[in-house]
Structures are given as structure tokens and as C-alpha cells.
Chains A and B, each alone.
Chain A
Amino acid sequence: MTTAAITPHVTDYKTAGAYTGQKGIWSWLTTVDHKRIGKLYLFTALFFFMVGGLEAVVIRAQLGGPNRSLVSAEFYNQLFTMHGTTMVFLAIMPLSAAFFNFLIPLQIGARDVAFPRLNAFSYWVYLFGGIFITVPIFFALAPNGGWFGYTPLTTKAYSPGINIDFWVIGLLILGVSSLAAAFNFLTTIINLRAPGMTLMRMPMFTWMSFVVQFLLVLAFPVITIALVFLLFDRFFGTNFYTVTAGGDPLLWQHLFWIFGHPEVYILVLPAFGLVSELLPTYSQKPLFGYAVVVYSGILIGFLGFGVWAHHMFAVGMGPVADTVFSLTTMLIAIPTGVKIFNWIATVAQGKLKFTTAMLFALGLISLFTIGGISGIMHSSPPANLQQTDTYFIVAHFHYVLFGGSIMGIFGGIYHYFPKMFGRLMHEGLGKIHFWLTFIAMNLTFFPMHYAGLLGMPRRIYTYDANQGWDLFNAISTGGAYLLGVAIIVFIWNFLSSMKRGAIAGPNPWNAPTLEWSIPSPPPEYNFAQTPEVHSRYPMWDQRASDVDHPKVNLTEGKSPEQMGIIMPYNTIKPLVVALGLVVMFSGLIASRDPATGGSKPVLWVMFAGAAVMIGALYSWLLSPLEPEHHAH
């Protein structure tokens, strides 16, 4: 293998007269370009990440000492519910979607995703759905039944207010977005790979995203149905979760976790994919055991559907069910452990470059491993019964989701920022951000292990002094404040680097995959000429015939017209369809029922929304995606 890099082709893309892409608000509202939609996802998801983070800071302020009364018990319920819901559905999933959008077509050598307009639709549904579910907290009407929404607590009998209605309908809306995106990316990865890009030559991020799309396609219908049952129970008086009518209180838990456990891998596998790109790049050697990493990713996805009841050991399913789910859960540690050893072996004896992105990748390995080990601890039912619903669990899943997903995503942002914006993020600030995050993260979540083992339950809004929890909670709260500081450093770095960062050039890290063969930021058409792929690391293993392609593709500052490339039309229709959909769902909530305090459907709102949605959908489907191709 040769590691000779392509000659750096550093050009300031703001050279006078050069084509710098479309401009203006309207161009963003009507865009169908996967790269711009990726950026929209990134900005929106970072915004919601800060909203969720702010909720966490208030939670920690309330819990910083015993018997505090910063917020009421009722508002505390809304805070922890919205913190979980926001981080899972509005922050981490869309942050992953930002990378799916931006990276997958570039990594497989495609011009765009398979269905560019559907892609825009997914984003707008996500944005409107996110606003729909977030706004109520400003009126103290936010969902308050936990992100898992267990019945019968969330049924009308026990939660008569409007709060849970927002949650049920909001998640149904967000499900539409996730499913539409999943069909799109599944098709993109299967069908739009450049010639020579066989499955086993795909970059690891694309591979892990591929697995995630299967999980989304198969897991989201299940929660959709669980939510529809709850919706019907609340609005039409059905009995799915009514125990007095013979309903099983565990039905919701089963349906929710059949979705919920694959969801955990939906949250973490994209981050695994990202570090599998970062570690080889900053070690300057190929990923150790590529095929095994692929297979273990598939196995994690597959087993992920067979472990859901380990969230339910405490409900008394009996020894057989407990044993089976305990064993499958322990089994899933094997492919996960395999990945971790592969990453370590990738780094071993490499030419390491400790960039910010690399630090975050290494941070993921160490922190995720801690979360994985505590995960193994609760896979054993007897231990689980002691730990369940305590802060030990909170510590575990924050090591997995913050230490895993968020660390990987931050690493991905530092790594791919130059590809997205053409400029490098500031490394000094980046390292301050990393160390603050790493230290604060451990300060916040590590003491929760102790508080939990000492019996501190989850979801309590306050506690009495002298139960041995005070010190651990004080440390956690200090850590949470420090995390807030870390995020401010990150946002400052992000925004200032967009304007003033050093010009990056096409491949600042000497990374091996296809997305680095084109300019930064890439032109609208990505690849002027469809690349041909001969290996997993085209930028490292160049053959004479390959070298030409990147050169052809380094055509900065030319518009699609100048290149003679046909691009899809911009269109507002996906946005209108998304708006109609969300208005239609809002009709369910549009009026408050004075009898129960809950919501009452308003039919004309629903019909108006449906009419807009269907009209715009027909108009969209009957209009062509792009100008007709003329034979040259």
C-alpha cells in the first residue's frame, strides 16, 4: 500500500468570480441537495441538543442539594421527560441523520440520495415535529410521563391533561420523518454505489448507517402501532391499555422496547461508524479486521431485536423469559467487544495524530467501554433487580449515549467540518472543548453509579439530606455546569470557524475514502465524473487509472451548468406536504376539552391539513425531479 497523498489542491473557494453555490433563504427552503439538507439537520439538531442540555442543567440544579425547590415536582416531570425525548429523537438521531445526509452519497460516489425530494420532506417533518413537541414546555404543558411513556400512567385515567397528547402525536410525526429517511438511505446505499464500490469496499460509516436503516425500517412501525393504540385509548376510548377491561399493562412495555432496544443501536451505531473512519485516518493505517467489524455491526443489529425484555426484568416475566433475555443480552456484548478490540488494534503501532477528532474517538472507546461494562452488570436479572430505576441505570445509559453517541458525533463534526464548510475548526479551542467535555462528563455521570448503588431512585424531583447521596449529587451538578461551559466553547468554535477557520483543502487529514477526493466544500454535483473504485481506501491505494478521477473531480468554482451536469429542480413542495401533515396531526390537539383538561380534535383543522398535504403531494409526484436529459 502506498500512502502518497494526492497533491494538496488548496484553493480559496471564495476566489472572485468562482461559483459558490446557491444563496438566500428561499434556496434553503426549497433545497433538495443532500449536503445542504445535511447542514440543516446539523444546525437544527445542535439547537435541540442545546435545548435538551438546558433542560438537563435545570434538572441538575434542582438536584444539586437536598430539598431544593427550584422547580415544582410537576415541572420536574416535564423536564426529565423532555430531556430524554429531546436528546433521543431531536438531537442524537438527527445528528446522525446529518451525517447520513452529508456523507453517504459522498462516500459511495453518488450525485445525491435516491429520492432528493423525499429527503427534504424528512427534514421538514423533523423540524415541524420537533417544534410541535418542544413548544409546550414554555407553557408548562410539556409531556410528563417519561420518554418511555409507560402505560397505564400515560392513559387518560392517570394523565388526563394535554401534555401526553403532545408526546404521542409528536412522536408519530417524528416517526414519519425517520421512516421516510430510512427508505431513502436504504435505497441509496443499495443502489447508488459507484462502479467498483462493492459492499465490502464500503466505508465503515456507510456500513454502520446501512445497518441502522434496517433497524429504523423494522423498529419504527412497532412504536407507531404502540402510539396509535395509546392515541386511540386517549381520544376514542378504546381499551388497549385499560387494565379493568382486561388489557395487559405489559403490552405497551413490550411494544415500546421492541422498538426501544433497536433504537439504542440506532443511536450508537452511526457513532461507531464515525470513529471507524476517524481512527484509521489519524493512525494512518487501515481499520483492523474490516470484515469482522462489518459482521459484528450486522450481528449487533440482528441481536438488538432479541433483547428488549431486559428493560423489563423487574416486572416479573418469570425465570424462563428472564434467562433467555439475559443470555441474549450477554451475547450482544461479544460483537460490541469485538469492535472495541478492532479499534484498539487499529490504533496500535499507527502513526498517531492527536487531533481533536482523534481525541473524541479515543474518548468514545474508553467511555463507551465503561457504559458497556455496567450494561453487562444489569444483564444479570438478580443484579438488575437491585439496580433498576436507580441512578446506576442513569449513569449506565449516559456513558453509552453521551460517552458513545455524543463523543463519536463530536469527533465526526471536527473531522468532517472542513468537508462541510471548507474550513478547519480551531484545534486549540477544540482541545479545550474535548478535555472540558471528557472531565465534565465523568464528573457528571460517574458519581451517579455510587448514588444509584446507595439506592437513589431515578425521576425523583428532590431528596432528603443524609442518605449518603448529597456529595455525589453535588459533584454531578458541578459536572453538568462544566458540560454547559464545554458546549459554549464548542459553539463558539463552530461558528467562528465557519467564518474564519483556516482553508482546509480537499483532504486535510490525508483520509482514505472517496469523499476526500473532491473539493471542500463539495460542488453541488459532488463528483464531476463518477469515480471508479478499486479498493476500500481509494485515496491511499491509488492505481494509475484512479489518479485521474480525483483530478477531474477537483474542479472548484464551476456551476453545474458550466460542467454540463443536470441537477434536480429546487422545490417547496416537500416543505408544504410536511406542513400539511403536521397541521393535520395538530388538529387532534387543537382544542382543549374543558371536561378532562385534555385535548379535543378539531375536524376542520385536520381536514385543512390533509387537503394541503394531499394536494401538494399530488403536485410533487406529478412534477419531474429534474430537467429532461437531452442527447448531446
Chain B
Amino acid sequence: MHYTATGLDNRKIAIWAFIGSECMLFMSLISTYLIYKGKSVVGPFPHEAWTDPMTGRVFHGILDIPVTSASTFVLLMSSLFMVLALAAVQNKHVPKHTTGDRILGSSRLWLFMTALAGTTFLGFQAFEFTSFVHEGLTIRRNLFGSTFFTLTGFHGAHVTAGVLWLLTLLAIDFKRGLTAADEMVVDMCALYWHFVDVVWIAIFTLIYLIR
């Protein structure tokens, strides 16, 4: 590595700056959601039931907390897999003696598992979006729909970008094998992935859990 004033890799500083910027992005989205909470003129609403005065149709609170808890669990587990993937890349040079060592040391396995968990989360989100639309909540329906789909959609887009990044790393790993020289790229991907997870914790708490 070239000389740097802090001894850190340039890319490490850049990804932290990027994450700082992303914090403001999600803060703007989350704040807007919270400001508009309870301001929708028509339902469906997140938690409360609503009866359409025109048709008499009853809309129940639309958020399905048990299902989203499951997808949240999957996403949180993906962070664990990401940690294992990074550790596997960092310890490439360490000799593996037992089957356990080889499993823990397989960057391909853990990159795959992380991407799989991310994709599963996206599958849950696709299911959630579709069922909301069927229940009558679209992005145009009311303020809740606009803010909810935009916020969670932005998060989903971030997860998608992360999955693409992971799959790219996986492809490189299969093609030529990730080495200690690639550690920084995997580290950056991991930081990004954990950040996206942390944002989800905030979203899950503020939107789903708090009434």
C-alpha cells in the first residue's frame, strides 16, 4: 500500500464518508415518515383499522409484524454471515486442519450465505409490497403509502446493491480466489452491509414496532 497520513487505506475512509452521507439520506426519509405519521386522510393505516365512509369497506392495520420479524431475523443473521465471510478472507493464509476449520474458513460459503439471506429478505419485501397493494395500499393511496413505500423501497434498493456487490465478490472468489490483497474490498462491502442492516433495525423499530 502507498504511504498515507493516517496509515489507513483510502478506500476505508471513503466508505465511512459514504456511510455518513447515507445516514443523512435515511434520516431525511425516516423523519419524513415520522412527520407524516397519522396525517393520512384515507386508510389503510399501519396499525389502526379504517372504514371507508364511501363503501363501508373495513381496512385492518396493514403491517404484519410476525412476518416482518422473520425477515428482520434473516437480515440480522446475514450480518453474522458477513462477519464470517470477512474473517475467512482475512485468514486465507492460516492452515486449515479440521472440517470445522474448512467450513469456517470458506469465504465462498459465507459470501453465498450472506447474499442468500439478503435475497430472502428482498423476497419477503416483495411479498409484503404485493400483499399491501392487494389490500389497497399503493404508493399513491395516501401519505402512509407514499412514505412507507419510498422509505422501505430505498432500503430495499440498498439491499439489492449489497447483494450485487456480494455476488460480484463471490464470482471473483470462484474465478481466481479472494486473497489477503482483496481484504479491503470485502471489508468495505461488510461495512456497507452492516450499515444497511442497522438502518433496517431503525426502520423496523420506528415503523413496525412503535405504534
Q: Could you list which residues of chain A lie within 8 angstroms of chain B, going by C-beta atoms?
A: 114-115, 179, 182-184, 186-187, 190-195, 197, 217-222, 224-226, 228-229, 232, 236-240, 244-248, 251, 255, 530, 618
Contact = CB atoms under 8 A, between A and B. Distances in A.
Given A190-B13, A217-B21, A218-B21, A225 B32 contact: yes
Contacts of B41: 244-246
Nearest to A220: B21
A234 to B, nearest CB: 12
A232 B35 CA distance: 18
Interface of B: 3-6, 8, 10, 13-14, 17-18, 20-22, 24-25, 28-29, 32, 35-36, 39-41, 139-140, 142-143, 145-147, 150, 168
A228 B150 contact: yes
Given A190-B5, A225-B25, A229-B32, A239 B20 contact: no
Contacts of B150: 228-229, 232, 238, 240
Given A179-B21, A246-B36, A191 B140 contact: no
Given A191-B5, A220-B21, A530-B3, A248 B14 contact: no
Given A192-B4, A226-B28, A248 B10 contact: no
Given A232-B150, A238-B150, A246-B36, A114 B24 contact: no
Contact of A183 (B6, B18, B29, B39): B18
A220 B4 CA distance: 28
A245 B144 CA distance: 10
Decide if the interface of chain A is mainly helix, strand, loop or mixed. helix
A167 to B, nearest CB: 19
Nearest to B151: A225
A251 B13 CA distance: 33
Contact of A191 (B4, B35, B143): B4
Contacts of A186: 13-14, 17
A423 B39 CA distance: 63
Contacts of A219: 24
Which 5 pairs between the two chains have the least Cβ-Cβ distance? A221-B25, A225-B28, A238-B146, A221-B24, A193-B5
Nearest to A248: B35
Given A218-B20, A245-B143, A248-B36, A184 B28 contact: no
Contacts of A194: 5
A119 to B, nearest CB: 12
Given A245-B142, A246-B143, A221 B28 contact: yes
B5 A251 contact: no
A246 B146 CA distance: 12
Contact of A232 (B4, B36, B146): B146
A10 B41 CA distance: 75
Contacts of B13: 114, 186-187, 190-191
Given A239-B140, A246-B40, A115 B14 contact: yes
Instruction: Tell me which of B21, B22, B32, B40 has the highest count of chain A C-beta atoms within 10 A of its own C-beta.
Output: B21
B24 A218 contact: yes
Contacts of B168: 618
Given A224-B25, A245-B41, A248-B35, A239 B142 contact: yes
